[in-house]
Structures are given as structure tokens and as C-alpha cells.
Amino acid sequence: MARELMNPCGIVANEDAPLAPRRQIDGKSDAGAPVVIGLFSNQKANADLFMDNMESLLTQRFGNVEIMRGYKAASVPAEFSAEFLERCDVVVAGFGD
């Protein structure tokens, strides 16, 4: 007797899409404006400690950076402000536990 198996994940489709435009993150950007790095935390234990260390390392290593912090509660989907989305050149996400 044949058995029918069901994948609980549903149907998965891979779709090719072009990568977002990239540039060298070397502490320099067009017209001397700082590179804006977003640090996004889910506020679980140690996530903010990780982000504090990232901020310190990034500002020491690259002279011309601006750090923007973003937060969300661990149990809800992320909501990004328009300013965060528009200004960040790169985002580091930290999820602690």
C-alpha cells in the first residue's frame, strides 16, 4: 500500500532576483557623506551588548560612519521606519538569547 506524504512547509519556489546595488564600505561615501550603518536588535538577552560592541568596532575601524539603531520586540515582526530604510547603506541584525 502506497503512502502519501505531505510537506508541512508547503510549496517552496526559488526566484532569481538581481542583487541590490553595492559599494565598498570603507568609511567613505559619495561627496564625503558618512556611511550609515544600521544596527538592528530584537532586544533579547545580550543582543544589545553585541550591538554596542559592533558600534565600537565599526567606529574605531572606519572614521566616517554614522550609526543608526533600530529595535523590535522579539515576538513581533520587524517594522522599520522610513528614515531607517532610506538612510542605511548597510544593516547588521543581532538576535540574542
Q: Is residue 8 part of a domain?
A: no
In this predicted structure, the answer to whether residue 62 has a pLDDT above a threshold of 60 is yes
Whether 19 is covered by a domain: the verdict is no
| Number of domains within the chain | 1
Residue 48 maps to a domain: yes
Write down the pTM of the prediction: 0.67
Q: How many CA atoms lie within 13 A of 45 on its CB side?
A: 1
The arithmetic mean of pLDDT across residues 23-34, rounded, is 63
Domain coverage including residue 82: 33-94
- CA–centroid distance for 76 within its chain: 16
CA distance 51 to 95: 10
State mean pLDDT over 41-61.
Answer: 89
Phi, then psi, of 81 in degrees rounded to 5: -70, 155
State pLDDT tens for residues 4-20.
776 676 676 778 888 77
